Chain A
Amino acid sequence: MARIIVVTSGKGGVGKTTSSASFSSGLAMRGHKTVVIDFDVGLRNLDLIMGCERRIVYDLINVINKEATLNQALLKDKHCDNLFILPASQTHDKEALSEAGVENILNELVNMGFEYIVCDSPAGIEHGALMALIFADDAIIVTNPEVSSVRDSDRILGIIQAKSRRAQTGSEPVKEHLLITRYSPKRVAADEMLSYQDVQEILRIPLIGIIPESESVLHASNQGNPAIHFKGTDVAEAYEDVVARFLGEELALRFANYEEPNLLQRIFGAK
């Protein structure tokens, strides 16, 4: 049975697109047929993060308006054979994203045999964000350990619990997962940053992973390769753990605690 996963946050700039790119790549690397859809009509960026911006001919709105077929608009990922990208439109009006149109596309993707459909939500709580979450089975709430991001995450959780199709029809509620990004264990140890336990206590949803603050995220986006492909980096391993936990594996948290650098690391300039 296919699962539709929305990656959302309310607040902008917390790592939704970075997380959507790495999460969908991780699912595909484990052999699952996956598609990632950019819902940010007018401000698309997933194409840049995935490195496929120059291959776009048709987009989501073209398919909704029946100006192109879904097969024409889907782009094959350059790293994974079983990962496809459906870009947002850069020129159309946001209102072109109709609920019926989105539902038709999702149904067609399920019929094409996709196992996981990842919806990269735009920031905010308006039409685009609503369309991204309305049909979700799972929601990944991307949150920075920072005051405005936590508040906005709580707000978007309220919207999921009120407006999603699952909530409206009274079926089993959307499964919520907390993903904390840009986490700095060192600053948490110094009592300068909310700990993941604090964030979890406030939001009260299960934690699916912690992505540490890292330079490699910028390196990855500069090159147009999702961060999960940078083998051996903390960020890549943290995203691999997120994917494994999503698929039901039980893994201990990594990158959550600060370790004092030892003498050798200090001499050789560890951070």
Chain B
Amino acid sequence: MALLSFLFPSKPNTASMVKERLQIIIARERNGGGGPDFLPALHKELIEVISKYTRINPEDIDNSLARQGNLDVIDINVVLPDA
């Protein structure tokens, strides 16, 4: 089997990968240039709200914006400290 794949190396199909990467980065850059970028403000307020109820490091909150098809998806990830 190893010999076979050595003799007939299969090329990776990378076109679909690059298309997806481009769609994400371009959606992000178009937003940056267009409407107001609310992510930093959202980030700050999230920290304030969560800090009311539990002790948290600002670095433990991560938010990002991605595009899936026709939808903008905000991905928020909060790591709560061990009790």
* Binary contact readout B31-52 vs A (1 if CB under 8 angstroms, 0 otherwise): 0010000000000000000000
State the CA gap A266–B5 with chains docked (Å). 26
Question: Residue of A at shortest CB range from B12?
Answer: A192
* Binary contact readout B14-34 vs A (1 if CB under 8 angstroms, 0 otherwise): 111011011101100110010
- Among B1-19, those with CB < 8 Å from A are 11, 13-16, 18-19
Q: Least Cβ distance of A158 to chain B in Å?
A: 5
State the CA gap A150–B30 with chains docked (Å). 13
Does B15 contact A198, Cβ atoms closer than 8 Å? yes
- Among A109-147, those with CB < 8 Å from B are 146-147
Q: Select B11's contact among A146, A147, A162, A192, beta carbons within 8 Å.
A: A192
Q: Least Cβ distance of A177 to chain B in Å?
A: 19
What residues of A have a CB within 8 angstroms of the CB of B23 in the complex? Answer: 202
Count of chain A residues with a beta carbon within 8 Å of a chain B beta carbon: 17
Does A192 contact B22, Cβ atoms closer than 8 Å? no
Q: Select A158's contact among B19, B21, B33, beta carbons within 8 Å.
A: B33
Q: Select A150's contact among B11, B13, B16, B22, beta carbons within 8 Å.
A: B22
- Using known A-B contacts A190-B11, A192-B13, determine if residue A154 contacts B18 with beta carbons closer than 8 Å: no
State the CA gap A108–B23 with chains docked (Å). 42
State the CA gap A158–B30 with chains docked (Å). 8
Check if A259 is an interface residue, CB within 8 A of chain B: no
Does A151 contact B22, Cβ atoms closer than 8 Å? yes
Check if A94 is an interface residue, CB within 8 A of chain B: no
Binding site for A on B (CB under 8 A): 11, 13-16, 18-19, 21-23, 25-26, 29-30, 33
Q: Knowing that A155-B29, A195-B15, A202-B19 are A-B contacts, what are 15 other residue pairs whose CB atoms are under 8 Å apart, sorted by A's residue number? A: A146-B18, A151-B22, A151-B29, A154-B29, A154-B30, A158-B29, A158-B30, A158-B33, A162-B33, A191-B15, A191-B16, A192-B11, A192-B14, A192-B15, A193-B15
Binding site for B on A (CB under 8 A): 146-147, 150-151, 154-155, 158, 162, 188, 190-195, 198, 202
The 3 closest A-B pairs by CB, nearest first: A191-B13, A191-B15, A198-B19
Can you name 28 A-B pairs with beta carbons within 8 Å? A146-B18, A147-B18, A150-B26, A151-B22, A151-B25, A151-B26, A151-B29, A154-B26, A154-B30, A158-B30, A188-B15, A190-B11, A190-B13, A191-B14, A191-B15, A191-B16, A192-B13, A192-B14, A192-B15, A193-B15, A194-B15, A194-B19, A194-B22, A195-B15, A198-B19, A202-B19, A202-B23, A202-B26
